[in-house]
Chain A
Amino acid sequence: MARYDSLLDACGGTPLVGLPRLSPTVPDGAPPVRLWAKLEDRNPTGSIKDRAALFMVRAAEEAGRLRPGDTILEPTSGNTGISLAMVAKLRGYRLVCVMPENVSTERVQLLRMYGAEIIFSPAAGGSNQAVATAKQIAVEHPDWVMLYQYGNEANARAHYETTGPELLHDLPTITHFVAGLGTTGTLMGTGRYLREKVDGIQVVAAEPRYGELVYGLRNIDEGYVPELYDATVLSRRFSVGTRDAVLRTRQLVEVEGIFAGFSTGAILHAALAVAHEAVRDGRRADVAFVVADGGWKYLSTGAYGGTLADAEDALEGQLWA
């Protein structure tokens, strides 16, 4: 129990909870293999992105890039937008989010409720039209500040200074850290911290594998790797398909009572893979993984009920992580 001066001060310090029912059973006399969930849905707006949003805004303030009343521009339809909207409101900035017009209504409602303004790019024009829209906005408003989460070192630093130390404090015997790979900020920051402090730590990435529509580039050279990404921080990287992510998301709530979003299912899938390997090899393992957000924002996908095949169809073509 604790009290805080404001909501921003309540960011981080999330619980780490054991998963005794989902952890694999080991043979008699074998060393224990345990799974631990870091509940990042317990942050002020309900996702791990609050940490990055707070650190990025603070860094921009300290560098003199952001002054009261300024406008922040960020292309996001997801958790980062919601986190930035909350931080911007409390710190006195205006937030403009750029997103395709076909995102779910609860995203739009949430962002507007937190006070963000939204500029839609046409869904029909696909990613090329979205890029054009975004470029145009930047041309028209050169004074708007983009924090650019994919390349902003304060994103990774948030996890180096908070997530990593919290994990080591709560689980000094940690052997594996498993998180999702998006901007790569969580894995880069937490991974670097744990590599400095824990001999032999395994840093494991779980990357969502979407439906084919999402990979609809015209050629390979249109691909993109976030500037924050440094492969040497990782030990392994798994690609997790929609079906496995949905299966694990449902298992997490059914077996351990944790209601999470689908990216967490993908992360759990990778965590279980390394846990079962440890059991096979007869090695002790304390596997900590990230619960990135709760499942509330994804209920309208319908993917929490019905068959796995139905859920897979429901998520086809969507960015579910």
Chain B
Amino acid sequence: MAIEVRIPTILRSYTGGAKVVEGTGDTLGDLLADLDSRHAGLRGRLVTEAGALHRFVNVYVNDEDVRFLGALDAKLSDGDSVTILPAVAGGAFGFAAAAAIAQHALATRAGGRIPTAR
């Protein structure tokens, strides 16, 4: 048995269009290395050069966020289900539009307490 990994639309160019792929590994880091051996470039989209998970990538093991389970050191077992998603939280439209306006408002000094975009 292996670990099932769900790939978001945005990263399926690395998996030949496959929504779900399988891999093995005792930790998330091992799993991503295993996947990269068959889907070259995938790991590079998820992990930064400094070796941390990309800020705008969320990875869930059995529906729980790996950042609270040890991140790349999170332990995996056969039969686990891993889901990868881009960070959009409450919805791409709301956030993208809000962020765009915030940046603009900051630039034009229209708003008072508007944070900088990260």
Tell me the nearest residue of chain B to A207, going by C-beta.
Answer: B89
Which of B45, B94, B98 meets A319, CB within 8 Å? Answer: B94
**B111 with A214: CB separation less than 8 A:** no
**A239 with B56: CB separation less than 8 A:** no
Bound Cα distance from A1 to B118, whole angstroms? 46
**B9 with A151: CB separation less than 8 A:** no
**A142 with B108: CB separation less than 8 A:** yes
A-B contacts counted at CB < 8 A amount to 174
**B92 with A75: CB separation less than 8 A:** no
Q: Are A239 and B60 CB-contacts (below 8 A) given A153-B113, A224-B95? A: yes
Chain B CB within 8 A of A259 CB? no
Which of A223, A225, A239 meets B63, CB within 8 Å? Answer: A239
Please indicate the chain B residues that have their CB under 8 angstroms from the CB of A76 in the complex.
94
**A236 with B68: CB separation less than 8 A:** yes
A62 smallest CB distance to B (angstroms): 11
Binds B, one of A11-19, A104-112, A129-137: A129-137
**A127 with B92: CB separation less than 8 A:** yes
Please indicate the chain A residues that have their CB under 8 angstroms from the CB of B87 in the complex.
223-225
Chain B CB within 8 A of A143 CB? yes
B112 smallest CB distance to A (angstroms): 4
Bound Cα distance from A321 to B90, whole angstroms? 7
Bound Cα distance from A125 to B113, whole angstroms? 30
Chain B CB within 8 A of A124 CB? no
**Which residues of chain A from 182 to 235 have a CB within 8 Å of any chain B CB?**
182-184, 205, 207-210, 212, 214-227, 231, 234-235
What string of 1s and 0s marks CB contacts (under 8 Å) between A169-192 and chain B? 000000000000111100000000
**B112 with A65: CB separation less than 8 A:** yes
Tell me the nearest residue of chain A to B64, going by C-beta.
Answer: A238
**A146 with B114: CB separation less than 8 A:** yes
Tell me the nearest residue of chain A to B95, going by C-beta.
Answer: A224
A312 smallest CB distance to B (angstroms): 16
Bound Cα distance from A233 to B87, whole angstroms? 18
Please indicate the chain A residues that have their CB under 8 angstroms from the CB of B105 in the complex.
138, 142, 146, 148
Tell me the nearest residue of chain B to A180, going by C-beta.
Answer: B90
| Residue with the highest number of chain B CB atoms closer than 10 Å, among A184, A223, A226 | A223
Bound Cα distance from A235 to B64, whole angstroms? 11
**B65 with A212: CB separation less than 8 A:** no
B82 smallest CB distance to A (angstroms): 11
Bound Cα distance from A65 to B105, whole angstroms? 13
**Which residues of chain A from 90 to 142 have a CB within 8 Å of any chain B CB?**
98, 100, 121, 127, 130-131, 133-135, 137-139, 142
Which of A100, A151, A218, A235 meets B93, CB within 8 Å? Answer: A100
Chain B CB within 8 A of A276 CB? no
Chain A CB within 8 A of B74 CB? no
Tell me the nearest residue of chain B to A151, going by C-beta.
Answer: B115
**A210 with B10: CB separation less than 8 A:** no
Please indicate the chain B residues that have their CB under 8 angstroms from the CB of A160 in the complex.
none
Q: Are A227 and B86 CB-contacts (below 8 A) given A76-B94, A214-B92, A238-B63? A: no
A264 smallest CB distance to B (angstroms): 15
Bound Cα distance from A100 to B93, whole angstroms? 8
Bound Cα distance from A201 to B9, whole angstroms? 37
Which of B9, B89, B113 meets A182, CB within 8 Å? Answer: B89
Q: Are A134 and B97 CB-contacts (below 8 A) given A148-B114, A151-B115? A: yes
Q: Are A226 and B89 CB-contacts (below 8 A) given A135-B104, A143-B110? A: yes
**A130 with B93: CB separation less than 8 A:** yes
**B94 with A227: CB separation less than 8 A:** no
B64 smallest CB distance to A (angstroms): 6
Chain B CB within 8 A of A262 CB? no
19 A-B contacts (beta carbon < 8 Å) = A63-B112, A65-B113, A75-B94, A75-B97, A78-B94, A131-B97, A146-B102, A150-B95, A150-B99, A153-B113, A182-B90, A215-B88, A220-B11, A223-B88, A237-B64, A239-B58, A239-B64, A239-B83, A319-B94
Besides A135-B101, A183-B90, 9 other A-B contacts (C-beta < 8 A): A75-B97, A150-B102, A205-B65, A209-B83, A212-B8, A214-B91, A215-B85, A216-B9, A224-B92
